[in-house]
Amino acid sequence: MSELKRNDNKYTEWYQLTNVRLDSITNTCDRIESKCQVQNDEMEDLSILNINDQLRILKDHVLEITKNTNQFATHLAKSDSERQKLKDEIIANVEKTHKNYESHMPRNSTPLTEAKPSVKGSLTPFLGENVISAKDIPKLEEWPTFSGEGEYNHIEFIRTIDMLQEDFCIPDEIIVGKLHSWFTRTSKKWYYKMRQDHGEHDWSWWKSEMITKCTNNFWRFKMENAFESAIFSSEKDKPLTLFFKQKDR
């Protein structure tokens, strides 16, 4: 009987100890669960913060792209305006050159703005009414040539042709017929291209096209730069030669 009572006491102690341990484990589990919940909440908060940060960065990128787009659009508008301004300036300069040139043209020279009929036609009536005949016209090597390279002077070339045309009463048909011989190097390529694209035209048309092509800002810059950088050398230059060269520039 005494033995049975001892066993009951042991069982009771074991049961109580087991309950205590179970309570401890339960409390531990509760604490772990609570910590997990806190961590989950923190992770959710962190995820929300990360998303907000990414959204803010994305918005900043959108604003930057919008700003760059607006700046580019403004630059394009400014470039278009500057191009139009430059185009207007070139047109104004060409028109001014035309007027200045026509005011110094020989009496019988064809004005740049005057339209003339086709260059085709017989030369016999013209030559028959003038004392100077075809054989009196200067030979090819006596005429000036124009390459369109280096420090060219297209105005001087045009004036020379005009004066020879006036002095020898040469019709446009002969002048136009000799252009392929007077143009050399770069200008000859330009002449062939213009002839292919536009067909036959009189001398006034070719003068106008030459002035339009050659009287540009690049040519002006090149001539002004050559004028300003020219240095006289007694060993290489003759004073009179340099004077006229600078005058032409």
pLDDT tens for residues 149-188? 876 778 889 999 999 999 999 999 999 999 999 999 999 9
* pLDDT (average), residues 191-220: 87
Structure tokens belonging to residue 222: 């090149």
**What's the pLDDT at 9?**
66
pTM, 2 dp = 0.42
Q: So what's the pLDDT on residue 195?
A: 95
Note the pLDDT of residue 203: 96
CB atoms within 10 A of CB 194: 18
Tokens of 143: 């005429």
DSSP 55-87: HHHHHHHHHHHHHHHHHHHHHHHHHHHHHHHHH
Instruction: Note the pLDDT of residue 74.
Output: 75
Q: So where are the chain's domains?
A: 1-34, 126-215
pLDDT, tens only, 61-88:
777 877 777 776 676 677 677 767 777 7
Structure tokens at 70: 């607006």
